Amino acid sequence: MNGFLYGVALQWKLDLRSKSLLITCYIVPLIFFLLMGGIFTSVMPEMGSTLIQSMIVMCVSMGAFIGLPPSLTETYGSDIKKVYKANGVPICLGLVTMFLSAFVHLMIACAVIVLLAPILFEASLPTQLPLFFPALAIYMIVSLSIGSVLGLTVKNQAKLTMAAQLIFLPSIMLSGIMFPVEFLPDFLETIGLIFPASWGYRLMLDNGFCFENLWYLIFIFFAAVIVCGIVLKKQKAK
Amino acid sequence: MMNPAVQVRGLKKSYGNSIVLNGLDLEIEKGEIFALLGVNGAGKTTALECIEGLRKYDNGTIAVNGKMGIQLQSSSLPAHIKPMEAVRLFSKWNKTKIDFTMLNALGIQETTKKQYIQLSTGQKRRLHLALALIGNPDIVFLDEPTAGLDALGRVSLHEQIRKLKSRGKTIVLASHDMAEVENLCDRIAILSNGNIAFCGTAAELTDKIGEKYFIHVKTRQGNNTFETDNIEDTLISLLHDLRQKEIHILDIKVDRGTLEQHFIEMARRETE
């Protein structure tokens, strides 16, 4: 356990040093929050009630789909994974430590958004905070599990960037965080439902924590866990 | 009789239709420095990785008697990790205390502030050796341990390897550097066509392959090498000729060729 916790703490530091997660979990989402928070609340003051949830969806999507996968590709697409076998530790250890490290980074960034939004933009805090944070954690875990699938399955960094954008952009544009989904054509609204961002966003809204908004996220999570398990098993068998 | 450190019997490994190891038999004694040699693609790394447990094999048996320490290649650590962080992580995984004497001997503590990506090739090699030794292994596997090192770096690493041997460790290494193998190793095995073409000491290889003698003569006029099957007659007639021509000898050496020459000859015979 000691080695595991040290590994998570070390990974957390390595993520900051590599700058990839630093940029995708903190710098870009927080700059986006500062700019768009001001624009949203001045153009449409009623968005103040959902600003925190919207900015969190943006932050989590960026960190999970663009920030996490390159670290996984660097480890599992190279000789670094041999380090686990050579030291007799499970091959999934790298995935677990990177997942937890990214989770902590994203939680910190989201906490900053929750704390600053009411002060800077007079945004409303979620009325049910004890349910908001579990909803946030579930959405984050599901998004990171999709990021894990991307990082383990796409071996080439250029292809990975493309694949990540194919999930990131629709997540942002079609989830209802930029404008209400009712304004979208029906087919785009339906496509938006494929991505967990739509479900996570609804789950985090006031009175949104219910099974109706949860089942799809649970389904995606287990599907992602199965895919990751199969990929890691294949890597171990080589 | 003492158990060998490593015993391999009938090891087979293929990648698709390409057979890399074809029933390899190998025995490595405890406390020796053993080298695996072979041309590129001969299967040295595959054989080592199968023995280390890093690669699955198709058939055969491998018995390793003792704890293994594996020196991985230079691309096997995250770019931004610092040497002491890697050392701490490995020692926690192996549940062992950090041996600061060993780290000092390898010069790891001089590099504490640098990240892995900023280390020189020599520092990376020494760090990988230190990481392989963290669990206090009985058998240490080294794959191309001095590749990319300058002469000083090579000498320093050779010293460390000899110290390991003096502490009773078994060292198994794969290398392309014949001079290194000749200086360092007790026994060598030459891999060819998926099997062992030769296994023994460098002197035994010379007996098997080194049919010719080489006489290296240094005079004021220059250096010359003479190749012969009959050392006595050639040497007498050469000295006689030089005296007649009043050429003074500055230095003279007789050998039966280098390990590299024998290796090349062996590889040539195997491909014929």
Query: CB distance B75–A83 less than 8 Å?
Result: no
Indicate whether B163 belongs to any domain. Answer: no
The candidate with the shortest Cα–Cα distance to A220, out of A160, A141, A155, A150, is A141
A1 touches B at CB < 8 Å:
no
Strand pairing class (B170-174; B139-143): parallel
Across chain B, mean pLDDT equals 87
Least confidently predicted of A73-82, B82-91, B260-269: B260-269
Contact B23, B195 (CB under 8 A): yes
Indicate whether B223 belongs to any domain. Answer: yes
Closest-CA distance, B216 to chain A, in angstroms, reads 45
User: Any residues with CB less than 8 A from the CB of A123 and at least 6 apart, and which?
Assistant: A37, A41, A48, A49, A51, A52, A117
Secondary structure of residue B32 in the 3-state scheme: coil
Q: pLDDT tens for residues A192-236?
A: 999 999 999 999 998 889 999 999 999 999 999 999 999 999 888
H or E element that contains B131: helix B121-133
Indicate whether B84 belongs to any domain. Answer: no
Indicate whether B206 belongs to any domain. Answer: no
B213 touches A at CB < 8 Å:
no
Contact B79, A71 (CB under 8 A): no
In the 8-state DSSP scheme, what is residue A45? G
- The pLDDT assigned to B155 comes to 85
In chain A, what residues touch B117 (CB-CB under 8 Å)? none
Indicate whether B251 belongs to any domain. Answer: yes
Residue with tokens 């949830």: A53
Buried b / exposed e over B46-73, threshold 16 CB at 10 Å, is bbbbbbbebbebeebebebeeebbbbbb
In chain A, what residues touch B53 (CB-CB under 8 Å)? 85
Q: Domain span at residue A128?
A: 2-237
Q: Domain span at residue B221?
A: 211-255
Question: How far is the C-alpha of A80 from the C-alpha of B116, rounded, in Å?
Answer: 13
Domain count, chain B: 1
Closest-CA distance, A237 to chain B, in angstroms, reads 7
Query: CB distance B80–A85 less than 8 Å?
Result: no
Nearest CA in chain B to A15: B80
Closest-CA distance, B206 to chain A, in angstroms, reads 36
Residue A149 pLDDT grade (very low, low, confident, very high; cuts 50, 70, 90) = very high
Nearest CA in chain A to B75: A79
Chain B 90-149, residues with CB within 8 Å of chain A CB atoms: 90, 92-95, 115, 135
Indicate whether B173 belongs to any domain. Answer: no
In chain B, what residues touch A87 (CB-CB under 8 Å)? 90, 93-94, 135
User: Across the interface, which of A7, A10, A79 has its CB nearest the CB of B76?
Assistant: A79
Indicate whether B222 belongs to any domain. Answer: yes
Question: How far is the C-alpha of A224 from the C-alpha of A63, rounded, in Å?
Answer: 17
Residue A94 pLDDT grade (very low, low, confident, very high; cuts 50, 70, 90) = very high
Query: CB distance A83–B72 less than 8 Å?
Result: yes
Indicate whether B248 belongs to any domain. Answer: yes
- The pLDDT assigned to B29 comes to 94
Residue A1 pLDDT grade (very low, low, confident, very high; cuts 50, 70, 90) = low
Secondary structure of residue B122 in the 3-state scheme: helix
Tell me which amino acid residue B28 is: I
Contact B24, B8 (CB under 8 A): yes
Query: Over 90: is that where the pLDDT of B17 sits?
Result: no
- Rounded average pLDDT over B50-60: 92
3-state SS of B139-174? EEEEECCCCCCCHHHHHHHHHHHHHHHHCCCEEEEE
Tell whether ipTM is more than 0.95. no
In chain B, what residues touch A80 (CB-CB under 8 Å)? 75-78
